A and B are shown apart, each in its own frame.
Chain A
Amino acid sequence: AQSVAQPEDQVNVAEGNPLTVKCTYSVSGNPYLFWYVQYPNRGLQFLLKYITGDNLVKGSYGFEAEFNKSQTSFHLKKPSALVSDSALYFCAVRDSGGYQKVTFGTGTKLQVIP
């Protein structure tokens, strides 16, 4: 079975400071990893993914994430937070050798304080 853990329900960061939203995963094979963002009353917007290759992946809106196989982590980062980054962030995983089912984490609410 595959699973995702987002240990923080909420992360608060001051505008202009770096931010990190944590994610760890569990799959039986090699992981495909994704980050999505959800603004209030909106759908899920794709931010970035790791499939293979470089462990540091860059995505939309200045976000990046680092795949760490030994720690089974895929933390989302941004060097300088904006107030407009405030939203709900979901980490997701699927097994590269398995079916298409993607398992989402419980989400982390990011609050960027002006």
Chain B
Amino acid sequence: EPEVTQTPSHQVTQMGQEVILHCVPISNHLYFYWYRQILGQKVEFLVSFYNNEISEKSEIFDDQFSVERPDGSNFTLKIRSTKLEDSAMYFCASSPGRGTEAFFGQGTRLTVV
């Protein structure tokens, strides 16, 4: 069964450093997302990406965040200068079209120290 793959599973970084989280969505999907979950709390939407551009973003997704689909298979989330409060589980997801469910990866646990 196809699945969304995220790497690494756990990333530790120092405050102020840049971090890139990697995702390989399901191959025939068209919509891509990043969500985050702080310590078992609510799952929060960050950004959606369609047709090689951001289609929607939340207020959390400020100038420190960016996304990229560099090669047609990977979908990355970059945080330019990490803060302690960026520590969370980051989930990548993809869906084949509008009105369909999103399939989530296993997540990357980001710890900023």
Using a CB–CB cutoff of 8 Å, the interface residues on chain A facing chain B are 32, 34, 36, 42-46, 49, 51, 88, 90, 92, 96, 99-107
Contact = CB atoms under 8 A, between A and B. Distances in A.
Given A51-B99, A99-B48, A99-B55, A43 B91 contact: yes
Contact of A43 (B42, B55, B56, B106): B106
A42 B93 CA distance: 14
B45 A101 contact: yes
Nearest to A32: B99
Contact of B99 (A46, A96, A99): A96
Main secondary structure of the interface of B (DSSP, over half): strand
Interface of B: 4, 31, 33, 35, 40-45, 48, 50, 55-56, 58, 91, 93, 95, 98-99, 101-107
A34 B43 contact: no
A34 B41 CA distance: 18
B48 A43 contact: no
A44 B102 CA distance: 10
Given A46-B102, A103-B45, A104-B44, 20 more contacts: A34-B101, A42-B107, A43-B4, A43-B91, A43-B106, A44-B93, A49-B101, A88-B40, A96-B99, A99-B55, A99-B56, A101-B56, A102-B33, A102-B45, A104-B42, A104-B43, A106-B41, A107-B40, A107-B41, A107-B42
